[in-house]
Structure 1
Amino acid sequence: MGGLDRTRFVGDCEHLEQLMRAGRIDQVGPGSVRLIQRAADPLESTQAHLYLLTGLFYDRLPLDQFTLAANRAHQALQRNPVPTFLAEFHAISSCVTALNGEVASAVEHIVHGVRAAEAETMPSVSTALAWADLGYAASIIGLVDKAAEFNHRSREEGARWGFGMVGTVPRLMAALVYDHRGDTPACIRELESLCALARSRTGDLFANLYYADRLCLAYAAVRLAALGGDPGIDAHHFWPAGPHRPHVADFELLFLACSAVAEGKGAEAITLLDAMMHAGPGNPVETLRLRSLALSSLGDHAAALAVEREAWRLAADMTRQCQNIVVQGVAANLDRAEMAEALAGYANAALTDPLTGLPNRRHLEERLAEMTTQCGNAVIGVLDLDRFKDINTVHGHLVGDQVLMRVAAALTTCFGPQDFLARYGGDEFVAILPTTSIDAAYGLGDRILATLRDVNWSDIAPGSQVGVSIGWAEFDGRCATTVLGAADKAMYRAKSSAGRN
């Protein structure tokens, strides 16, 4: 990006950004598609892919449509791996997965996005936007400290290029998270800070506000009023005129419900909340919180408490998922440490599968040749994943790669230090068990099946269950390749049976 004007977005993507600024989301998607088709500059085309993803996200299209566009964007990024663009890709993907309840996947995208943004040696105005969107993604899943950190990075980067990043979205989301967790004083402080920012936005500063910033400042004002505070601004002055896209129309119902609560019109607020078609900013927790405030204003404190408890339960569930991710992260670190020790003899990259870190087919063939000459006893196993093609079809190859990596890590925990496990190709693995009987191999196969059944696949491939079919054959001094073929045939017999081992 060194030859480009780093104060602008690439080529006609500047126009797409202006559409975003004005809130004309319905034009971003079609404009992105046209730009992808005609752009001669590969960087311009790649950034247009990212704007297309943003438009799809805001339009709340089905996940499968987003996944298809994300796969195409990823292909463009493989051809043009600009760190800033990679950071933006992961920020958008994190937002989508978070709002679909896939917290672990959302966190993973944030980590990848931060690494990409920090690796950018030629930062630009697009880098500031990537940091802002990473902040938004972090705020969705309640990582308010990280959201504040990324928001600060966004403002710093934007200031370098004369691009004023206000960062109201993650700040508003953080305020709501505080309230959802029971820390209403912290929520009020953040809302008051946003209202002070709104009061400072007059003249050109108001005219240059992003559409999303106007929405958030307006909502911060009515939300503060609903909690009994004085925003000191006319929230309706900041709220953009309609008609609005679906996600903003739902947000507007929350805005009006807050206004009604602040004005003591609890029944009207409940009617508006009943009209909600989608979750608001904070997902269903915010809708429940407003319903509780409305019921309290009507004097129905028992009902308000019941709704509040449901809101707390949902907010706690997000925290629980984040805690599970920490535990899984520690376990993954241990798995990686054990795998690194097991793979210490595979230092030569030519003998290692780059995706899973296991020995590759070439390494396996060398080991089979050694077995034939050494004439030792062993059992050879062929492991083939079940329904893996369906995962690639439904969720895309990016998810398929994540599944393969997780399978490899899980399989490694089942084998001993003397065993040899290789990725043979695609979704097929081969194991060599020295000094092991065929009966012991079948017992190991049962443990492998149980291990994969216990893996939580929903965070990376919702609705999918990964299984494996295993075939075993004894090596007793014959040609090892022949024994491998026998194990392969046994695997296909297992695949057609219920046991799959």
Structure 2
Amino acid sequence: MTHTADGRAPSTEPSREIERMLSGVQRMLFDDRVTEALAVGAQLANADDPRTRVDARIYRLAALINLDRSTEYAAAVDAAFEALQAFPEPGRYGRVHALAAVTAYRFGSLDRCVNHLVRSAFALKAVELTDAMAAWGWHNLATAYSYTGFHGYALSAIEKAREVAAAIGLPASDFVTPGIRLRLAVSLDQRGDTDGCQRVLRDLVQDCQAKLASGELAQTRPINRANYGYAAVRLAALGYRRVLDEIDPRPLLRDGASRRADDLRALGRACHAIAIGRPIEAVARLETAVVSDETAGAGEVPRLRALAHVATGDYAAAYAADRQAHRVASADTDRLRDLFMDGVAARLDRENLHERVAKYQDEANTDPLTGLPNRRYLEQYVADLVGHGGSAVLGVCDLDGFKKVNTVHGHLSGDIVLQRVAGVLNRVMRRGDFVARYGGDEFVVLLPSTSRAEAHEIERRIVSAVSGEDWSALVPGTPISITIGWAVIGEGGLTRVADAFETADMAMLNAKATPRAS
């Protein structure tokens, strides 16, 4: 630990000025002053005290998400988790995992997204959390659930956020989240439950009217006012046109400076055109609309197109658009089924791995990330094998292009890839074979009493199994493969792991340089 000039340990509590700045960042995010929030978050991201570092990096990550600066997501997520190592507080863990879930979803990795959602919920449920960070953690988790289509979980999480906020005296207006119910409503409509959609939209309109009458609406976030406006005009597009006499959605839709607010304005104009009898204008607007799937679901544009075509009397076009809306709205359900099956397979891999390495389970002999034996235990194992006159084929397994995984998707994703590869290696090994993590992205397999021909058959199985994993669900756009080099140990030849590793490593590098037969 470093100390100040007078010998005192540095404070781990932020100063009043820093506390003021952190509170200001939260308010900037609330008011859609995202660029300002990003600047202050960056300014405090390397502060001396660990709590400030964590909070500043959380705010910076939230700002980057709001600005849709996706090329910076991976580094920002890694930086936030790095800061948490020095200040491992559950509420903050929950918030970072919730934000990381959104980044994973935007990269198309439903696997990592769900992983983060579950970890966020676990962290927030770990203890009774009664501070602002916990309240906002539940809020962020609710939003992440909603973006990714887990609407029931989203409603439960936002209710928990409100409970924590009420317990510590945070303004109730800060936790008004019509966007969560709005995404539920349009999701119901896109999947064919228009009656259910109308019920939720009517509730939102009544809520908006009550807040207008009380003056509370002016205190809510700009994006929330835009959500209320879209709820009203969307209800009108479904045929409930008198809502436009009760509430004018247009000034509400003008609120908000975020990308989501822009999306709602574009969709709202199309809905308004449908509602007032100008469906051809609506079709034209929808043809040029570029809208994020997160805002109102992937099926929203085709669903509105279907409503517009019905109004023009083109029922064939309406039917085709409605089918498209249902298809894209249901796509994540199919992906979740696949993810469930992959998850069961991965869990079985982990269970088998834990059984296989249970006898190595102590800190000195085990790699903490994968649960595999480490280099130290490998050396002991080989020394014992050779000492008893045994022999084996040693293989160095190196992941191809692994650096790109860390660069594009972040180190946390890289860790998950390594854990998955460890499970795959364990799955294809024969009884009596030995698997260890040597370091970095390199694994070692040891095949006792095995010929070269048998080793190459094992190699074929390993390469096929790794390539056969659904990496697109975990690290989209970054294929994972593996290259192996071999060396014989024992039998009067090499006796030390380091020597055998060097020989096998050279063979592996030569194999990388040789194009594989397709």
Same fold (TM over 0.5): yes
- State the SS of the aligned residue for 2:42: helix
After superposition, give the CA deviation of every residue in 1:134-164 in whole Å (9 maximum; x if it has no partner). 1121122221221122122122222212231
After superposition, give the CA deviation of every residue in 1:3-52 in whole Å (9 maximum; x if it has no partner). 999xxx95422212222232323322223223436x55432332122222
| Aligned: 1:265 with 2:265 | no
Of stretches 93-102 and 357-366 in structure 1, the one that deviates more from structure 2 is: 93-102
- State the SS of the aligned residue for 1:273: helix
**What is the 5 A alignment of 1:78-157?**
78-157=85-164
Supply the distance in 2 between the matched residues of 1:468 and 1:115 (Cα, whole angstroms). 33
* Kept after mapping to 1: 8 A contact 2:155/2:180: yes
Of stretches 159-168 and 359-368 in structure 1, the one that deviates more from structure 2 is: 159-168
Structure 1 residues 499 and 208: alpha-carbon distance in aligned structure 2, compared to 1, 3 A threshold = same
User: Hey, what does 1:200 align to over in structure 2?
Assistant: 210
Moved over 6 A (4+): none
Q: Name the amino acid aligned to 2:136.
A: L
Structure 1 spans left out of the alignment, 5+ residues: none
User: Hey, what does 1:216 align to over in structure 2?
Assistant: 227
Structure 2 spans left out of the alignment, 5+ residues: 1-11
* Kept after mapping to 1: 8 A contact 2:466/2:481: yes
Of stretches 115-124 and 327-336 in structure 1, the one that deviates more from structure 2 is: 115-124
| Aligned: 1:379 with 2:393 | yes
User: Hey, what does 2:327 align to over in structure 1?
Assistant: 313
| Aligned: 1:249 with 2:267 | no
| Aligned: 1:76 with 2:76 | no
* Kept after mapping to 1: 8 A contact 2:346/2:420: no
| 2:26 paired residue among 17, 28, 39 | 17
* Kept after mapping to 1: 8 A contact 2:271/2:282: yes
Q: Name the amino acid aligned to 2:71.
A: D
Of stretches 27-36 and 292-301 in structure 1, the one that deviates more from structure 2 is: 27-36
Supply the distance in 2 between the matched residues of 1:219 and 1:326 (Cα, whole angstroms). 34
Q: Name the amino acid aligned to 1:408.
A: A
| Aligned: 1:173 with 2:190 | no
- State the SS of the aligned residue for 1:458: helix
How far 1:394 sits from its partner (Å)? Answer: 2.9
User: Hey, what does 2:485 align to over in structure 1?
Assistant: 471
| 1:426 paired residue among 440, 443, 448 | 440
After superposition, give the CA deviation of every residue in 1:401-458 in whole Å (9 maximum; x if it has no partner). 1211111111111102311100011111111112322211110101111111111212
How far 1:277 sits from its partner (Å)? Answer: 2.7
User: Hey, what does 1:58 align to over in structure 2?
Assistant: 66
* Kept after mapping to 2: 8 A contact 1:20/1:28: yes
Supply the distance in 1 between the matched residues of 2:116 and 2:250 (Cα, whole angstroms). 36
After superposition, give the CA deviation of every residue in 1:92-137 in whole Å (9 maximum; x if it has no partner). 2212322333222211111111111112454312212211221121
How far 1:238 sits from its partner (Å)? Answer: 6.2
Supply the distance in 1 between the matched residues of 2:500 and 2:257 (Cα, whole angstroms). 66
| Aligned: 1:494 with 2:511 | yes
How far 1:465 sits from its partner (Å)? Answer: 1.6
Structure 1 residues 23 and 495: alpha-carbon distance in aligned structure 2, compared to 1, 3 A threshold = closer
Q: Name the amino acid aligned to 2:505.
A: D
Supply the distance in 1 between the matched residues of 2:61 and 2:490 (Cα, whole angstroms). 56
| Aligned: 1:30 with 2:18 | no
* Kept after mapping to 2: 8 A contact 1:11/1:44: no
Query: What count of residue pairs does the alignment treat as equivalent?
Result: 493
Of stretches 65-74 and 150-159 in structure 1, the one that deviates more from structure 2 is: 65-74
Structure 1 residues 380 and 101: alpha-carbon distance in aligned structure 2, compared to 1, 3 A threshold = closer
RMSD: 2.3
Of stretches 446-455 and 262-271 in structure 1, the one that deviates more from structure 2 is: 262-271
TM-score (norm 2): 0.89
Structure 1 residues 498 and 424: alpha-carbon distance in aligned structure 2, compared to 1, 3 A threshold = same
User: Hey, what does 2:199 align to over in structure 1?
Assistant: 189
Structure 1 residues 489 and 24: alpha-carbon distance in aligned structure 2, compared to 1, 3 A threshold = closer
After superposition, give the CA deviation of every residue in 1:237-281 in whole Å (9 maximum; x if it has no partner). 761645834442222111221222222221222232233233252
Of stretches 442-451 and 211-220 in structure 1, the one that deviates more from structure 2 is: 211-220
| Aligned: 1:438 with 2:449 | no
* Kept after mapping to 2: 8 A contact 1:380/1:484: yes
After superposition, give the CA deviation of every residue in 1:36-81 in whole Å (9 maximum; x if it has no partner). 36x55432332122222222112222x2222222222222222222
User: Hey, what does 2:6 align to over in structure 1?
Assistant: none
* Kept after mapping to 1: 8 A contact 2:386/2:490: no
Q: Name the amino acid aligned to 1:453.
A: S
